[in-house]
Amino acid sequence: MTVVPHRYYRSVGESLSVLGLGTWAIRDYRAAEEVLVKAVVEYGVNSIDTAEIYGGGLAEQLVGRVASRVGRDEVFITTKLPPERFRTRDSAVKAARASLSRMKLREVDLLLIHWPDPVAPVETLIRNLEAVADEGLARYVGVSNFSKALLEEAMAATRKYEIVANQIHYSIMERWPERESLISLASERGLMIQAYRVIERGSVALDGGLARVARELGLGPVQLAVAYVINGCSTCMALVKTETPEHLEELVSAATVRLSEGVLSKLRHI
């Protein structure tokens, strides 16, 4: 049986699967739970992402059930809280405790600020994010949807902990992180990039140039899109969502694909 490759992520000092499973916009929670359990137990996927706002808390409950079934130590769990939660220490800690309560966990592996706050300064957000870690509610902390400039500001604002990850929209069709040198910064610093919307909700299959290269390599467009992110970025994890065993198998297969530098260069110029 195919097993998803693991990669050592320096920022957290752990070996995690290069494929992570997301829980945004779940349609069938019962089906999703079975697929998530299958991914962990049979395919070695050991990273699951969720957030407070996903399904009004139902997604975090789902992740908690999966962790209970497969064993807490078998899965690295990331969750995200809206930025307004981090405007004060008390609200940050309260929101984190509520999140853990929904998942029935004592601590989460990685807690992220879900997106930049248009009101509070980055320094304030980071100070209160660190307060959550001080309370023993999160092992690691990070950010999500931060530009390179905001990421650097966040990294400079830490006092006790390090920003270990930035979860961003990054795909073969959405390359702003490359243009902004965010990917190169992450590689230099050893920062984990959790890339979401890797297959652009399936629209990668409609891209003619991508489909042509995929055919030349004997792959499907979805497989090539996942492989591009994993192979083209040494600190990336590709976050994907699936609720069916068939789609899971396709994604697992994609995670094992190895692309040469020549192919990656060709894809960057499509």
Q: What is the CA radius of gyration of the chain?
A: 18
Closest by CA to 114, choosing from 159, 65, 60, is: 60
Reported as a pLDDT band with limits 50, 70 and 90, residue 209 is confident
User: In this structure, are residues 21 and 36 in contact, taking their beta carbons and an 8 Å threshold?
Assistant: yes
Predicted pLDDT of residue 39: 98
Q: What is the average pLDDT across 172-195?
A: 97
Contact assessment for residue 244 and residue 208, using Cβ atoms and an 8 Å cutoff: no
CB 73 within 8 A of CB 40: no
How far CA 122 is from CA of 1, 83, 96, 135, 150, in Å, comes to 45, 10, 18, 20, 8
The pLDDT value recorded for residue 72 is 97
Residues 156-165, mean pLDDT to the nearest whole number: 98
Q: Which of 165, 149, 156 is nearest to 108 (CA)?
A: 165
pLDDT at 136: 98
What confidence score (pLDDT) does residue 133 get?
A: 98
- Degrees (nearest 5) of the Cα angle 161, 162, 167? 130
Residue whose token pair is 């998803």: 4
Mean pLDDT across the stretch 139-157? 98
Distance CA 256, CA 25 (A): 26
pLDDT tens profile 219-267: 999 999 999 999 999 999 999 999 999 999 999 999 999 999 999 998 9
What whole-number distance in Å separates Cα of residue 242 and Cα of residue 119? 35
Quote the pLDDT of residue 270: 79
State in words which class domain 6-268 has: alpha beta
* Letter string b/e over residues 194-231, b meaning 16 or more CB atoms within 10 A of that residue's CB: bbbbbbbeeebeebeebbebbeeeebbbbbbbbbbbbb
Task: Please tell me the distance from the alpha carbon of residue 240 to that of residue 199, in angstroms, as a whole number.
Answer: 8
**Residues 82-130 pLDDT 10s:** 999 999 999 999 999 999 999 999 999 999 999 999 999 999 999 999 9
The mean pLDDT value of the chain amounts to 97
Q: Indicate the angle between helix axes 245-255 and 29-43, nearest 10 degrees.
A: 40
pLDDT score for 269: 84
Residue 207: its pLDDT value, please? 85
Paired with 47 in beta bridges are: 76
Q: Any bridge partners for residue 130, and if so which? A: none
